[in-house]
Amino acid sequence: MSNIQPFHLAIPVNNLEICRSFYRDILNCKEGRSSDIWVDFNFFGHQLVIHYKPVEDQKELHTNVVDGKNVPVPHFGVVLKWEDFNSLAENLKKKKIHFIIEPYIRFEGKIGEQATMFFLDPSGNALEFKAFKNPTQLFAN
């Protein structure tokens, strides 16, 4: 998997400046090109673009139960190295991020054991960051 190409993901945000600050200052993503309605970020080696979209009727957050936790759907994020996950989790705690699911170990002692955490960006987009105890088990069943 060392030859994986970066993915591109474009997401809607209802306040470009607040979300720009979140991705740049909270998640420490380097800002790239931008206009008055979108901003590119280096999202852990991938291209994330936030696009302004006016607020519409807010729908309740949908969740599915995984390992006894209510996981938000949809969500996106990245798989980090174990030590990078722990470092990010500590930094987010220091920055007082409200977690939907606090950092914890999922499927402990089983195939696919992983550290995971979920939180929302300021526009309500759900993010998951995870790390596998054994990275070769990313797609194991």
69 and 129 fall within a common domain = yes
pTM across the whole model: 0.91
CB 13 within 8 A of CB 51: yes
Count: domains in the chain: 2
- pLDDT score, position 2: 64
Same domain for 27 and 79, yes or no, is: no
pLDDT of residue 116: 98
Structure tokens at 46: 């991938």
Tell me whether residue 3 is in a domain.
no
Q: Do 71 and 102 lie in a common domain?
A: yes
Residue 96 and residue 43 in one domain: no
- The band of 133, judged by pLDDT with boundaries at 50, 70 and 90, is very high
In a domain, 17, yes or no: yes
In a domain, 57, yes or no: no
Q: Residue 122 is encoded by which pair of tokens?
A: 């300021």
> Distance (Å, rounded) from C-alpha 45 to C-alpha 129?
14
Same domain, 74 and 118: yes
Domain containing 19 equals: 8-52
pLDDT tens digits for range 59-105: 788 899 998 999 999 999 999 999 999 999 999 999 999 999 999 99
d(CA 78, CA 44): 7
Write out pLDDT tens, residues 13-44: 999 999 999 999 999 999 999 999 999 999 99
Residue 13's domain is classified under what CATH number?
3.10.180.10
For residues 32 and 29, give the distance between their C-alpha atoms in angstroms, rounded to a whole number: 9
Report if residue 90 sits inside a domain: yes
pLDDT confidence of residue 74: 93
Q: Quick check: 1 pLDDT over 80?
A: no
Query: What average pLDDT score do residues 98-116 get?
Result: 96
Q: Assess whether 69 and 132 both reside in one domain.
A: yes
Structural domain contains residue 31:
yes
